[in-house]
Amino acid sequence: MRTVSWQERVDNNNIPIREEMAGHEDNRHESYLKAVAKQFMKHKLAVAGLVLFVLLILMAAFAPLLAPYDPNMIQDEFSAPPSAQHWLGTDQVGRDVLSRLIYASRVSLSIGLGSVAIYVAIGTVVGAVAGYYGGKVDMIINRIMDIFMSFPYLMVILVLVTIIGPGLFNIVLVLGLLGWPAVARLVRGSVLSIKQTEYVKAAQALGLSKRQIIFQEIMPNAMGPLLVNATFGAATAILSESSLSFLGMGVQPPTASWGNMLTAAQSITTLQSEPWLWIPSGLMIVITVLVINFVGDGIRDALDPKRR
């Protein structure tokens, strides 16, 4: 018969206590999420924005089912006004504007969400390392961030896109690689304050590795400002893509994007006599950016402890 050691008895006696503490932690986490969700639901514009944003994502996902025509198919009528056959008319080469508008949502949302995913991932890791380690590591990373942020944002994007060539993947890559310094500084500031808390010091005393402390103890508590920044960053990326496409350096035809649909309507004659060529794409850009900003405002208010 095996003899039970004193340490095993202590551990066994502490099992109910540990389970109870874990239960309390789960309940506290659940109540926190409920409080955040409740505060978010009070922000009517944020709720409406979230609903519209979900609808935009669904429109992009089911574009082949929703679009009445192939976006690149040439119809019989050129620059035809809206009609029962073409709800938003046709463009200068006879393509259905509504179909191109629906398919363009895929491009614009992909650029917004894709570039944000890249620079949030980079900025989170870089900012967490700089804030936690400090010293020379922090100084070197800060100098690199200063260099990135010292150049005009749009000008650098134009130069890089000119060098590597326009296109959907290249624009996502450039926007993602240039947007991380702002996120890194935000994360760095959060880590600097959170690493002084008692639970982080307790994790250090328990012998957790630095990687575990950063990504399991610190980062979950620094996600609030990061989520808000990500929502506003997605709106900025969509505007940047529209600006690049309007200048002819964005997504290239025949692929439709809201920006290059505006590019095709630059002439005074088109602006005055053919509004269906530029108003729908312009409205989609405005609505999408406003919707994302409303969601960001709602998340910011919901995560603010003073408002709860």
What distance in Å separates the CA atoms of residue 113 and residue 168, rounded to the nearest whole number?
12
Which distant-in-sequence residues (6+ apart) come within 8 Å of 193 by Cβ?
A: none
Type of residue found at 69? Y
Pure H helices in the chain = 6-42, 44-61, 63-66, 97-133, 135-149, 153-164, 168-178, 180-194, 198-205, 210-212, 223-246, 258-263, 268-273, 279-303
pLDDT value of position 148? 86
With a threshold of 0.85, does the pTM exceed it?
no
CA 102 from centroid of its chain's CA atoms: 20
pLDDT value of position 194? 83
What distance in Å separates the CA atoms of residue 261 and residue 254, rounded to the nearest whole number?
10
Structural domains of the chain in order of their starting residue, each with its CATH number: 52-59+94-303 (1.10.3720.10)
Which distant-in-sequence residues (6+ apart) come within 8 Å of 89 by Cβ?
A: 79, 80, 81, 82, 83, 97, 274, 276, 277
pLDDT tens, N- to C-terminus, the chain (308 residues)? 455 444 444 445 544 444 444 444 455 556 767 877 888 888 888 899 999 999 999 999 999 999 999 888 887 788 788 888 888 888 888 889 999 999 999 988 898 889 999 999 999 889 988 888 888 988 999 999 988 888 888 888 888 888 888 888 889 999 988 889 989 998 888 888 888 888 778 877 878 787 888 777 787 777 778 888 888 888 888 888 888 887 778 888 788 888 888 877 777 777 778 888 888 888 998 899 899 888 888 888 887 666 65
pLDDT value of position 103? 93
pLDDT value of position 199? 77
